[in-house]
């Protein structure tokens, strides 16, 4: 009897954790921020730096724990599971496919570095940026493509639709860069 109970406990502890329903919701009305390559802003130039600071490669994003289940959506023949909570400071939302060769779509919290550089921090304090922007990006290995920017976290329906557009290639990309270095390609429509 003790062996049966020990076996059952081992099986239950080895079972994959089922993600809980999400506690937070995105905003129903979210403004899109223009990332216009013909009129570069300091936010546009800050995006690759902030994403690199967070280390958001597709492997890193796949390794994040699934904070909660926000449902699935399909792009072509691939099903993607949307997870994440607002409290995650680096990538509050991410969509992964079971296909390990598929790109990962994610929403990254970014901030404009210019205010931090313009006003030095108090002695002993870390520099702070204004973190009130979110960018939709896709990652395939170390290659990042940025698609959109928002002033808040969109609701799940809008985010799934925007992610599906990015993953299917029907959306217009804004920039592309390699996490390992090299030039940032600002793409014009």
The predicted pLDDT at position 33 comes to 80
The predicted pLDDT at position 119 comes to 66
Q: What is the pLDDT of residues 89-144, one digit of tens each?
A: 778 899 999 998 899 999 998 877 776 666 666 776 655 555 578 999 999 999 99
Q: What is the pLDDT of residues 58-89, one digit of tens each?
A: 888 888 877 788 999 999 999 999 999 888 87
The predicted pLDDT at position 120 comes to 63
Alpha helices in 26-143 (DSSP H): 42-54, 58-63, 113-118
Q: Which of 25, 22, 61, 31 is nearest to 156 (CA)?
A: 25
Q: How far apart are the first and last CA of the chain?
A: 68
Q: Contact 116/43 with Cβ under 8 angstroms?
A: no
């Amino acid at each position: 009897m003790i062996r049966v109970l020990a076996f059952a406990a081992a099986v239950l502890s080895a079972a994959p954790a089922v993600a809980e329903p999400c506690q937070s919701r995105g905003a129903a009305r979210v403004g899109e921020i223009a990332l216009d390559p013909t009129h570069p802003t300091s936010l546009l130039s800050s995006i690759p730096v902030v994403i690199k600071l967070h280390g958001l490669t597709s492997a890193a994003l796949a390794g994040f724990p699934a904070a909660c289940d926000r449902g699935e959506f399909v792009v072509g023949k691939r099903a993607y599971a949307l997870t994440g909570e607002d409290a995650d400071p680096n990538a509050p939302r991410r969509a992964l496919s079971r296909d390990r060769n598929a790109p990962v779509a994610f929403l990254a919290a970014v901030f404009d570095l210019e205010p931090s550089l313009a006003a030095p921090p108090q002695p002993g304090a870390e520099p702070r940026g204004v973190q009130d922007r979110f960018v939709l990006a896709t990652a395939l290995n170390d290659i990042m493509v940025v698609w959109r920017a928002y002033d808040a976290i969109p609701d799940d329906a809008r985010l799934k639709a925007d992610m599906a557009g990015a993953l299917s290639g029907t959306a217009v990309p804004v920039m592309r860069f390699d996490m390992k270095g090299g030039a940032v390609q600002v793409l014009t429509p």
